[in-house]
Each structure stands twice: as C-alpha cells, then as structure tokens.
Structure 1
Amino acid sequence: MSAAPAARELFASSFGREPDGIWSAPGRVNLIGEHTDYNEGFVLPFAIPHRTYAAVALRTDNRIRVASSFARLTVECALEDLAHLFPVEHQGADRDVPEWSAYVLGVAWALGASTGSAGEAGSATRFRGVDIAIASDVPVGAGLSSSAAIEGAVASALNDLWELGLDPVTLAQVGRRAENEAVGAPTGIMDQMASMLGQEDAATFIDCRSLETRSVPTGFRDAGLEVLVIDTQVTHAHSTGGYRERRESCERGAQLLGIRSLRDASVADLPRAAEIMDDVTLRRVRHIVTENQRVLDTVAAVTEQGPRAIGELLVASHASMRDDFEISTPELDAAVETALANGAIGARMTGGGFGGSAIALVAHASVDAVTDAVQQAFAAAGFTAPHLFTVSPSDGPRRDV
C-alpha cells in the first residue's frame, strides 16, 4: 500500500491543516557499480516502485517544521538558521537536530546554497516557510537508498513551491550536498541521480565524473526475469566509519598512483599498484578498477546479448565486494550463495554494504523457489528472517496530489 495516505494523515495530525500537495521519489537498486560513484566512475542503478512521500504546504512566515513517520518528534527552526545548523567545517558532526530531520532540513539548506541564497533563505519571497510530513515505503537501512528518496521528494516539492525551476540533475546534486554536508555521510551522487532520473523498464548508466547519463533498457520483463531483493534486515548507516574508511583508502590509492581519482586507473595499472601499495589499499583499489570495467561490460552485455548475459558479472561483483572491498556480511553472502544454488542467473549484494540487501536475477517461474530456499537457509543459520520482494525499474520523482 502506498505511503501517500500516511503522509497526508501525518501532516494533518502534526500541523492541523491539509498540505498544498504530496510529492514522492523512489528508492533505488544498484544493478552493478558499487562504491565507484565517489571515485568518479561508472554505475548502473535503477529506480524502484518503493517511494518516499512528502506532504508539504507553504507557511506565511519563515519557519520550517518537519514531521516524520520515523519519529514522534516534530523538528522546527527558522530558515535563516539552517546555515548555522550545517556549517561546512563540521559536516554532520554534533548536530542539534536528529539525523532523520537533517536529510529534510539539509535539502532546504542546500537549495538555498545552490541558488545563491545561503543564509538568506528566509528573506526571499520564494523561500517562504514550509511544513513537511514524511512517510515512506522504502525499507530503511536495506541498501535501497531510503535517504535519496527522502531528499528527492523534498527537493522536488520545494523546487515546485519555491518556483526555483531547477532540473533533475541539479536537484540530485542538492540531495548529495545535503547528505554529505548536513548529514555527514560521505556518499557519491549515484543514489540521488538514480532516484531523480528513474525510467520505467530501464536502468540509468551514469558517468559520475561528467554526470552524463544514458537510459539502458534492461529487457527484464520481455525475458521473463525478475529482480528479487533480499533484505537481510541487517541495517547499516553510511555516516559510520566503515564507509568513510573505504573512501579514504580509495583516495590514498589514487594519490599513490599519481592520478585524480581511481576513475583514471585501469586493470593494466594493477601490477604497478601491487608494487607500491600495502595489501589493504591494493585490494580496495582493485575492487574499484575492476568494478568500473564490470559496469561497462554489463551495459554492453545487456544491450547486445540481453539480460541473461549479465549473471557472471553480478557474481564477480559480489566476490570483489566480499574479498577485496570487505563490505559484505555473512547474511549477504548466504543470500547470494543460496540464490545462485537455487537457479538465480546472477546475484550480488547491492548498496553501500555492511548490511542491507542482496539482489538476485531470477526467472519469473523460480521466484517462489528461490525465496523459500533463502528463508530456509537463514533460519538454519540462525539469522533474522529476511524480507524478500521483487522490484522493477520505475519512474523518478512526481507530484502525486
């Protein structure tokens, strides 16, 4: 069931009136290309049907109030105070607001900064105060980018209500800035771009350096295939140390190679990397370099041969994340191995790692069998029961009401 009615109901109960409208944006599944985005590399995500809804109404003053189904507390501040909440030098540390609200308030702050009105949002006519209520059916902590869905829904709503006229790529950049600087999560731009640019039945190939994109038809439906999401129920948070440490290792590897980012390295550079790097840094670099190539190979394979040709690339991606980048978990490994043993064409963990979800490319007729096998494997291992569901490439943000 859509979370749109929940957003409307929360708005009414929190603020005592009806919203001006309800906007939504989708979560995403990354088909392949993990941790390559902040290395200016290549990714191939797609938006999913699960969405976050923002019920929003303008106010007559300069206050912003935020309510969420995630928490009982309503957070409120003046628009001009946002610059003081999110000073660049602290980037997410010691905020005076709960982290969940930083995603929403951070978008409002980043919109002001992107339009040259940082610190002055409350004084401009178009930056009137707003009330915002958030509800979502994107699983939180599952590696499906619930954060980018929040950012996309709020950015789309404020873009309309404040009459900013910003394009989807700019709104994606706003979302990334909010996540990097307001929340303090050192993520790349893939999640926001995937959410903002989603199209039905297609993945989005993104060059994270140039931000050039290309819609890539997946052909899943015509091939009788489903993307089965296996949410391990092991939650993760990008603002915690593991993600940041991986990013720092990548930056160190690029510096040792004398290049701007690992985007500029190729598989042919790996022997030299092995001579000048410690083992951990080498393995982090090797994942990024080979993963970039796997994204390019996946685009070529799905375009030229069809979706059944990408299975081995998905499997190789998971092995690289498990062994070289070390971001998998026993639950994710069990999900992937069990799915493959029970007929999946390919499978891999998806998202930032340290928990979250795996995906399996499965024939429609085999979904129930793979689902049952994974549930049984988790029970036998003593893991928390996983949540399994299928997704298909879907459209990006919209105004629902």
Structure 2
Amino acid sequence: MNTQPLELIQSTSGQALLAQMYGQQQLEEQTARYTKLNESFEQYFGVQVCSKLFSAAGRSEIGGNHTDHNHGKVLAGSITLDTIAVAAPTTDSVITFYSEGYEQKYVIDLTDLAPKAEDDGTTALIRGMAAGFEKFGYKVGGFQAYISSNVFSASGLSSSASFEMLICTILNHFYNEGTLDVVVMSKIGQYAENNYWNKPSGLLDQMACAHGGLIAIDFENPAEPAIEPVQWDFQQNGYSLVIVNTGGNHADLTEDYAAVPYEMRAVAKALGSEYVREITAEAIYANLKQVREAAGDRAVLRALHFLEENNRVDGQVQALREGSFADFLNLITASGNSSWKWLQNVYQSGSVKEQEIGIALALTENYLQKLGDGACRIHGGGFAGVILTILPNEKVEDYMSWMHGMLDTPIIVVNVRAQGAVCLNTLIENVG
C-alpha cells in the first residue's frame, strides 16, 4: 500500500495513530506539523509515489545517570518529542536531504564511506551509520528526505540519537525489510558516534529512542543488553515529567563526558577489572589508599556513584511495579544528589560564573520542598542542558510559570510514548 503522507495523516487510522503517539491534546498541532513536513518534502523533491512517514523519539533518562558505559543499569523512556521525516527511496547510491531550519542541502555518496575531515557533524554521522550498516552485514541505498525535529539540540534529550535512529529506520525499512532490531540499530548509531564523531558514547540513548515505552535496560552484557518494559503511566497516576532547558549547551563538552567513563574505568583497573560493574564498593573501601593514588579522588567518587546508582535503578523499577510512587520519588531525589555531589556532572570543572543547571536545580528543589511533593535531578549527560522535574499534574502550570519568569528558557511537559523509531505507514498497515 503506497498511501501518500498527507492522505495517511488525514485518514481515520492516521489521526488515531497521531493521538496515540502524542496525546489527543496535540492532535491538531501534530497534524499541522506533518502536513507542513510533507509540503516541504514536495517543494524540494516533488511528489514521490513511494514517499513514507518516519518518526524517532527523543528520550528521557529517568534513572541510571552515567552507568551504561560501564555495563550498568538504566531506566529510560521514549518521549513525545521526536525527529520526523518524509522520505522516498532512490535508484542511486546517494542520500539527499534537507532539515527544517537549515539552508544546507546534505548529499552523502554511499560509494565512499571513509571518514572525511571536511564533513560536518551531520554528514559524518550519516556516513558513519551507512558504514555501520555495511559493517554489521546490512544493505544501504539512496533516499531523499525532508527532516524536522523538536528535540532540543545539545540539551540532554538525545537529539543526535533520535536523528540516528530516524536514519536507521529509513534504511531498515527501504533496504532491509525491517529486519534490524533495536539492539542492532543502536549499535550502528554507537559505531557512527564512536568512529565518525569521536564521541565515546554507550548504547543508552539510541536504545531508549528506538525501543518505545518505559524500559529498564541492563548492559552487563553490552553485546546483548537485557530489556524489560516497565508499565507505568506518569500522567494517569497524577504526575508529569517536566523538562527545563536551562540555557546551557553541551555540544562542546566531549572532554567532560569522556572523562566520566575513563575515570570510572581507572578505578576498576586499579582493582584488576575493566568496568565498574565488575567491582564492589567494599573492594574500593578495602583498597582505598591504593585506588585513590592510582585513579584520583574524583574517579573514586564517580565509581561509588555508579555502584549506588545501579542499585537505585533496581529500586525505581521495583517501586513502580509495586505502585510505591513515594519511594520512587525518593530514589529520583537520591539519584540527583549523587549526580551533583559524587558524579559531579552538574557543571563543568572550574566553571564558577556559569552554572545554569545548578541554578535550575536549586530553584526547583526549593519549590518542591515548599510543595512537599515531587523530585528533580540532572537529566542526561549533564554539565549543561536540561533538568527533569517530576511533580503533581495540578502544579505543572504554576511551576512552569514560576521557573520561566526567572530563567526565561523553554520548559515543556513530555510524556512517555509507546512508539520509538517507526515508519508510520507500517504501523497503520499492521493495524489494518
């Protein structure tokens, strides 16, 4: 079935899918968004018989801050912010696309996938993903696309992983009959970041963007991460996830991010292991002097954060499954405190004048203390970007108004959505 994108989103099934993905209250807005997306595609590429709609979610990391890269555990969810595209396959080996808000025309020749010094970040990522498809034994081919995203860039909501999973889903759908699973697509995204972007990322971001829903992931065996869905609807249970964009930008903080896994592994190495998942807090205590001398004090604190954070993820999942939301909130608060004091990713080392995340957290902690409910914490990689606040639904507007009046930065409510990285046409066809 080659239903045209505009016809698809305006159909009864299409409207039902958009309401399911984004919520009934966003149906009109999202219909207009996809309509504009299709108009832009046709403006650049004309009407294409085989054009289809794609979406890849952003992600919220609920628990497990900086644990995946040392084989730890996380609790994360696909969210209602996403990267979307209209795309159509071509007969040549060239990917051509435009991205909303950018004048540049991106053209990537798939016959030459070696890293290029002249590539910008976007071109490098796509070249890297195409190379990753071939490395893992899958097919690549050309396509034309128009892309749009409302995932805050360089903020901690994984705009890059959302983009990667969008591209993976397009290539998976057009050239691999949808045979790639979430783990393989995530590894391709990680391969591109590690080898074409020089970013030492784990798999959390890609998996949370691609899978859909709220999931607990255990990376003890990163070759085959264990994924367990967690059934919990925050809003239906009286609480909202609020993302505060503090105004900072983490785009140029690769060294800060790289230091976290490096220092954690230095502690593990001092104890004869490779990853912190393989050691215990008791082993650190028993060899504290030796470990401090070998790895440094901040590294020790970061390793201790990892070990406690791993336990907190288990506790968070258990609390949600038992409906003990007060316990869950306490664990979120503990996670935030640990990230600030032990992991130390709330601001850049030596940064005194600009500490946007610290300010946002301090304001929010005072608000929640007076409210007597809710929790907040650093969100994502940290050092700059966004914070996560969980608070009662009826207090959301008051909190957002109060924070916006002081920070004048974007603040939005997000929901966990069931769809991760998908072809909308396929979802509707499968239902039909």
TM-score (ref. length: structure 1): 0.87
1:38 paired with 2:89, answer no
Distance 1:168 1:397 in 2: 9
- Maintained 8 Å contact 1:26/1:195: yes
1:200-222 superposed Cα distances (whole Å, 9 cap, x missing partner): xxx21001133011011224233
Match of 1:153 in 2: 166
* Seq. identity, %: 26
Which residue of the other structure, out of 101, 107, 110, is the alignment partner of 2:129? 107
Give 1:194 deviation, angstroms.
0.7
Give 1:51 deviation, angstroms.
0.9
Aligned-residue Cα RMSD (Å) equals: 2.1
- Maintained 8 Å contact 2:246/2:386: yes
Matched AA of 1:170: V
Matched AA of 2:410: H
Distance 1:47 1:368 in 2: 23
Distance 1:33 1:260 in 2: 19
Distance 2:36 2:126 in 1: 17
Match of 2:375 in 1: 346
- Maintained 8 Å contact 1:56/1:131: yes
1:205 paired with 2:187, answer no
1:147-188 superposed Cα distances (whole Å, 9 cap, x missing partner): 111111111111010025212221122122122222221111
Distance 2:253 2:53 in 1: 28
Match of 2:84 in 1: 53
1:256 paired with 2:270, answer yes
Distance 2:409 2:129 in 1: 32
Match of 1:138 in 2: 151
Structure 1 residues 61 and 266: CA distance shift in structure 2, 3 A: same
Give 1:255 deviation, angstroms.
0.6
Question: Unpaired runs of 5+ in structure 1?
Answer: 87-94, 117-125, 379-384
Distance 1:104 1:7 in 2: 21
Bigger shift: 354-363 or 263-272?
A: 263-272
1:267 paired with 2:285, answer no
Give 1:279 deviation, angstroms.
1.1
Structure 1 residues 377 and 131: CA distance shift in structure 2, 3 A: same
Match of 1:368 in 2: 397
1:309 paired with 2:342, answer no
1:130-156 superposed Cα distances (whole Å, 9 cap, x missing partner): 223321111111211111111111111
Structure 1 residues 294 and 49: CA distance shift in structure 2, 3 A: same
Which residue of the other structure, out of 122, 141, 153, is the alignment partner of 1:128? 141
Distance 2:357 2:142 in 1: 43
Give 1:321 deviation, angstroms.
1.6
Q: Map 1:1-400 to 2 at 5 A.
A: 1-2=29-30, 3-18=33-48, 20-82=51-113, 84-85=114-115, 95-115=117-137, 127-164=140-177, 165-199=179-213, 203-210=214-221, 211-237=225-251, 240-272=254-286, 274-275=288-289, 276-277=291-292, 278-329=296-347, 330-342=355-367, 343=371, 344-378=373-407, 385-394=408-417, 395-400=419-424
- The alignment partner of 1:106 has SS state of helix
Bigger shift: 244-253 or 273-282?
A: 273-282
Bigger shift: 240-249 or 261-270?
A: 261-270
Distance 2:404 2:309 in 1: 29
Distance 1:96 1:10 in 2: 28
Question: Unpaired runs of 5+ in structure 2?
Answer: 1-28, 348-354, 426-432
Structure 1 segments, 4+ long, off by >4 Å, are none
- Maintained 8 Å contact 1:66/1:131: yes
Distance 1:238 1:132 in 2: 28
- Maintained 8 Å contact 2:264/2:300: no
Matched AA of 1:109: A
Distance 1:217 1:85 in 2: 41
- The alignment partner of 2:180 has SS state of coil
Structure 1 residues 96 and 206: CA distance shift in structure 2, 3 A: same
Matched AA of 2:216: F
- The alignment partner of 1:73 has SS state of coil
Matched AA of 1:66: F
- The alignment partner of 2:105 has SS state of strand
Bigger shift: 173-182 or 141-150?
A: 173-182
Structure 1 residues 173 and 239: CA distance shift in structure 2, 3 A: farther
Give 1:6 deviation, angstroms.
4.5
